[in-house]
Structure 1
Amino acid sequence: MKIALFGATGRVGRDILLLLLQNNIEVTALVRDSEKVQPHDRLTVLQGDARLAMDIERTLENADAVISALGTDQTTVLTESISHIIIAMKKQKIHRIITIGTAGILTSRVEPELLRYESSESKQRSKVAAKEHHRVFHMLSQSSLDWTIVCPTYLPTGVVTNAYIIERDMLPVGATRTTTGDTAVFAYNELIENKHIGYRVGIMSPE
């Protein structure tokens, strides 16, 4: 298997990259600064910009699936990149994509007609990041791709507990945090198992 990975130098992306390589999976990673990635014989590092179609296309060459752990950085990088990724995937006949989103785009329990970031559940003052992730969710749901969006809540850097709890389209009751380690492991497991195609998946780590 060969994976095209975006966001490989981020907190979750680094953990995903390590898991892929540890499990003998070939990876092509597009990064802004190649010096931030350690060389590996199963890793091809491309330096470029995820907002550029040509860089997306060369990252996806010969890939079997795509994982995006890109963050928002209070910019439109997510929506710009996902639009190019969707087009390139269709062009290259790649069907599977897993992205790391946010719990804000899960369905609200108290106001089911709204997403969490739109409802009284949200404690975030800024909605910029959630709106970007919402646009990505909309674009993927309107595509013909086999997509899964992993939606952690408060995301501290942390170890793999392997005791995480998940729920489709909603945040598990009582969720207060999701470690970067658990987020990465679930994304990797979903890549292998394909259990939640077409769903946002809320995930929480134990306290």
Structure 2
Amino acid sequence: MGEALRVLIADDHDDFRHGLEALLAAAPSIDVVGTASDGAMAVALSLDLQPDVILMDLHMPRLNGVEATARIVQSSPHIGVVVLTMMEDQESVFAAVRAGARGYLLKGARRAEITRAVAAVGAGEVIFGPGIADQVMAYFAAARARPAADAFPELTERERVVLGLIAEGKENGEIARQLSLSIKTVRNHASNIFAKLQVAHRAQAIVKARDAGLGQDF
């Protein structure tokens, strides 16, 4: 068994934060290394403690969860942020994804869902809770493969095509077949795209592409 995931909890509600701490502390693969009661404290502690995963509320004093997430991911992109909030509107979901969150759960989530999400994000995955996942998939499915003509000038033409297919929701294997490329080549293109766009993961790249007008109808 590998080392326990180091987790930081950020929530301004004391009872909820303590409940989360007890829940995660009971999981053998998770080590709660700190707690924060506001966004500014979450940023400071994350930079100091360098946890693997942060459970982040969105509505907090001093600094909201979206801005805290953006600051943390910008300075420590290896830290996986899982948003755990009451807010399920699309604006909040995608603001969190744009900021670099790798997961989004509602506070009504079952205990097993929360621990599973922490483990998944700690392993490098992106995870969305039920209902939230439906919103995300509907948003991504609206994308088309044609990149906007003036979008992302830092990308090569081939990278723009790959990004367009990523924005359509296609996985690397499907993109490789469509473009007659090896999966390794597509993976390299995707890594270059993420680096150039300064995004932490696939979901964030898709949102950024859509924001820039990628995939508008002809």
Relative to the length of structure 1, the TM-score reads 0.46
Query: Which structure is higher in helix share?
Result: 2
Higher RCO structure (Cα 8 Å, ≥6 apart): 1
Relative to the length of structure 2, the TM-score reads 0.45
Query: Which structure is higher in strand share?
Result: 1
Determine which structure has more spread, i.e. the larger CA radius of gyration.
Answer: 2
